[in-house]
A and B are shown apart, each in its own frame.
Chain A
Amino acid sequence: MDSESNITRRRALIAGGATVVFGGGVAYLASRSESSSQEYTPSTYQSLDGTTGYGVELADRPVVGERDAPVDMYYWTDYLCPFCKEFERQTLPKLGQNYVESGEVRLVFLSYPNIGQYSMPSAHWDRCVWRQSAESEPSTYWDWHGEAFDAQSGGGHDWADEEAFASITERTDGITVPAVDECRRNNADEIRSDIEADVSLAGNSGVRGTPGFVLYNRDADAAGKIVGAHPYENFANALDRVLEA
């Protein structure tokens, strides 16, 4: 039997057209630019110690918001994670304005290096920048954190290396590369152990990717989990439920 005996021009055109539409649609979804992103700069930072009721070690973890806010939002992140950037640019500004600035939520930054080979070193940079700025000028950390996410470029994570993070640090006022390097050299084991504790807690919480969140009402000892860059409404609904717990 001739395998092409009943291939018609009409079907060939339909298949070709559908393939082009399919590929073009995917390319459109991939390349559409982010909608207008807002800026958010927290008014309060905390440098805390101890362990929360949920089991999060707070020492050396950046905390944004009021110390006595009733709900903790634990945020596992990775500087190489595009989805985390999406959350930071699209959703975090609204959450910050509506929940952190109102004193209802405090945001705790935790590491979950999982995307690329430089994920772990970038988490070390993060911890040292926080250590260098937490007591003196914690907004420096926020500026550095924003610069680091701005440095992400599409098409993989090859952009992330020593040079890129040194450059991010140089661009940030209030912090120097030699100071951060010294911290990374002298505290490498301790920082690695802290990061491993964060990753382990993520695993125990059922968080398997970044960005990952646990919302925890400290008084009620009630928690909820969100994984991924959900739309703002999903976060708001979840936070409202945990606040009312």
Chain B
Amino acid sequence: MSAADGTAHRHLRSLRAALTYPLTSDRRLLVAGGTTGLTYLVLVLSTFPQFSVQVVSRNPTDIGYAVSTLTREVYLTTGWTGLALVVLYALLTGVALTHTAALYRQTRASGVSSVATVLPGVLAAGCASCGAGVLGMLGFVGAMAALPFQGNLLRTAGILLLVGFLARTGDPRTCNRGEIP
């Protein structure tokens, strides 16, 4: 097996360990599930922040209306691919934040550095996923219109960032950062 094959194999093993990490305790599974749901909620509502804020501030119980309407809006604007990418991003964020919690607990003394490791990836991926809404809020009218594939390329890039983070981290309970020559 060549060195490149070995590295790819190691990363895949590490990614598998990372993705199955939330299954290692009921609490972790609950955290991953809750974070996934919350992330989806935030991503979908942020596709049209003004609308979401207006609907929820008029009647907080209308949040279901906002989520269901904007879910359909995401599908109609970006297709099944775009919607699947948002769902995938939410799932990966659920896993990634469970990891971050574990890393933070393990290195509480240097907690800032471990959070700082994951935060840019999560934020970049999040911004890539929520798309036009946030860009519009920032005043970039039509910015999403100029992006190829209705912004799905950017969403994919965001997800790759998260996958990269997870593949690098592996199971956060193990020390797999250093390589023994």
Chain A interface residues toward B at CB < 8 A: 1, 3-8, 11-12, 14-15, 18-19, 22-23, 26-27, 29-32, 82-83, 86, 112-117, 119-120, 152, 154-157, 199, 203, 206-209, 226-231, 234
Q: Which A residues are in CB contact (< 8 Å) with B128?
A: none
B48 CB contact (under 8 Å) in A7, A83, A154: A83
Residues in B whose Cβ lies below 8 Å from that of A29:
67-68, 71-72
Which applies to chain A's interface (DSSP): helix, strand, loop or mixed? loop
**Which residues of chain B from 29 to 52 have a CB within 8 Å of any chain A CB?**
29, 32-33, 36-37, 40, 48-51
Asked if A230 and B55 sit within 8 Å, CB to CB, the answer is yes
Task: Determine which residue in A114, A119, A120 has the highest number of CB atoms from chain B within 10 A of its CB, and name it.
Answer: A114
* Min CB gap A131→B, angstroms: 24
Could you say which interface size class chain B belongs to?
Answer: 35 or more
Residues of B at the A interface (CB closer than 8 Å) are 17, 20-26, 29, 32-33, 36-37, 40, 48-51, 54-55, 58, 62, 65, 67-69, 71-80, 82-83, 87, 91, 132-133, 136-137, 139, 141-142, 144-146, 150, 170-171, 173-174
Q: What's the least CB distance linking A115 to chain B, in Å?
A: 6
CB distance from A242 to the nearest CB of B (A): 15
Asked whether A154 and B79 contact (CB < 8 A) given A3-B17, A11-B23, A82-B73, the answer is: yes
Q: Contact: B58 with A155, CB < 8 Å?
A: no
Closest 9 CB pairs of A and B: A228-B51, A82-B76, A30-B75, A155-B79, A3-B171, A227-B50, A29-B71, A3-B17, A208-B136
Q: Which residues of B contact A15 (CB under 8 A)?
A: 22-23, 29, 32-33
Q: Return the contact of A208 from the options B37, B73, B137 (Cβ within 8 A).
A: B137
Tell which of B20, B55, B87, B146 touches A4, judged by Cβ atoms closer than 8 Å: B20
